[in-house]
Structure 1
Amino acid sequence: MARYVLDDQYTSSSGAKFPVKWCPPEVFNYSRFSSKSDVWSFGVLMWEVFTEGRMPFEKNTNYEVVTMVTRGHRLHRPKLASKYLYEVMLRCWQEVSASLCSLMICKTSSD
């Protein structure tokens, strides 16, 4: 399956477009979406909130982001996020889809 990275979205050979900087590796490698990939995106949203709206991977092209994330690179801890909150983000960004946390992390983390 051929894959292309154009503009701010990822395009698969079937023509589907994805917002690369908010997607887990299984989305741009296998075009697999699930509630677990939503958790990854939620982690990126948290990162955006604690950076006061910065663009994730702002200095990298989509091609670079695909390569970096596939190799295990994750966004840095924002200055406004506590270590605990960054750990929550990292749990959202676990690579193996079976081990990705669910949004229940929000409920259990507030207990």
Structure 2
Amino acid sequence: MNKANLTKLVRDLAARNCLVGENNVLKISDFGMSRQEDGGVYSSSGLKQIPIKWTAPEALNYGRYSSESDVWSFGILLWETFSLGVCPYPGMTNQQAREQVERGYRMSAPQHCPEDIFKIMMKCWDYKPENRPKFSELQKELAVIKKKITS
């Protein structure tokens, strides 16, 4: 994912909004919730149609969307991908998932998920946004993993 040069906040990065094109190029669709960055942060009020299970804690709690909150969602997208499309936080309601995340719960690795990929997910789900990796770092890490797997 080459988001390093984008200035939009996706705010709804999820498997349901991803299209796979020629040469396995992933395209993000449904920009209904996307917003232009202003100083790196977008503020929102209210919980109108927020995809709770995909949304970072700071966005849910304070309406603060940033590249870091998109990284949280990217971690959820990775989990969806490696679980072969299972809805995140299986067996939990939106409210239960939100409460569990606040208590420090993080989903376990999907069956057959490579350990290196799960480590990336866990970095994406750091409670503190400033501790999450940048998309440029994720791109490099994933390229290394891909090379290791395909060689």
TM-score category by the smaller chain?
0.7 to 0.9
3-state DSSP of counterpart to 1:18: coil
Please, what TM-score do these two structures have when normalized by structure 2? Answer: 0.61
Superposition TM-score, scaled by structure 1 size: 0.82
Q: Which one-letter code corresponds to 1:33 in the other structure?
A: Y
What is the number of residues matched between the two proteins? 100
Q: What residue ranges of structure 2 are gaps of 5+ in the alignment?
A: 1-43, 145-151
What code does the residue aligned with 2:75 have? Answer: G
In the TM superposition, residue 99 of structure 1 has moved relative to its aligned partner by 1.1
Aligned-residue CA RMSD (Å): 1.7
* Correspondence for 1:87 among 119, 123, 138: 119
- Write the deviation string for residues 53-80 of structure 1: whole angstroms up to 9, x where unpaired: 0000121111111110111111110112
The equivalent residue for 2:48 is 16
2:95 alignment counterpart:
63
Structure 1, unmatched stretches of 5+, are 1-11
Q: Alpha-carbon deviation of 1:93?
A: 0.6
User: By how many angstroms is 1:16 displaced?
Assistant: 3.1
Superposed, 1:25-40 pairs within 5 Å as 25-40=57-72
Q: Secondary structure at the match of 1:47?
A: helix
- Structure 1 stretches of 4+ moved >2 Å: 12-17, 105-108
Matching residue of 1:101:
133
The letter of the residue matching 1:72 is G
Counterpart amino acid of residue 138 in structure 2: C
Task: Between 12-21 and 57-66, report the one with greater CA deviation.
Answer: 12-21
Which entry has the higher C-alpha Rg, 1 or 2? Answer: 2
AA partner of residue 48 (structure 2):
A
